[in-house]
Amino acid sequence: MNSLYITCPKCEKIFEVDKDLIPGLGRDVECGSCHHIWFYKGKDYDLDRLNRILENYPSEVPKDVESLILDAEKNQ
C-alpha cells in the first residue's frame, strides 16, 4: 500500500491512509478515534510534533514511522 500518515488535529491520533484515497487538492477526513472532521490538504504533520507524540504514546505508532515519512517526502 502506498501510504501516508495523517494526524488528527483534535486528538493527535495518527492514521495510516492509502495515498490514492487523497486527491491532490485534498479532501474531508474523519478521525476514527474522536470523530473530528477536517479538511486534509497534504503534509498534515510536522516532525517535531510527531516526535512529541511518539514520546508520549510509543505503542500507538510503529517506531519506523518517522523514517517512512522522510522517505515519502524524498519521493514527492
For 40, residues 6+ apart whose C-beta sits below 8 A from its C-beta are 6, 22, 26, 27, 28, 29
Judged against a pLDDT cut of 50, whether residue 3 lies above it is answered with yes
Verdict on whether the full-model pTM lies above 0.85: no
Mean pLDDT of 18-43: 85
Q: Tell me what pLDDT residue 29 has.
A: 92
- Are the C-beta atoms of residues 57 and 42 closer than 8 Å to each other? no
Quote the CA–CA distance of 60 and 38 in Å, as a whole number. Answer: 21
Per-residue DSSP letter, 34: T
C-alpha cell at 61: 505508532
pLDDT (tens digit per residue) in 36-73: 999 888 654 556 666 777 777 666 655 566 666 666 66
Q: Tell me what pLDDT residue 44 has.
A: 47
3 HSE (CA, 13 A, CB side): 13
Q: Domain locations in the chain?
A: 3-74
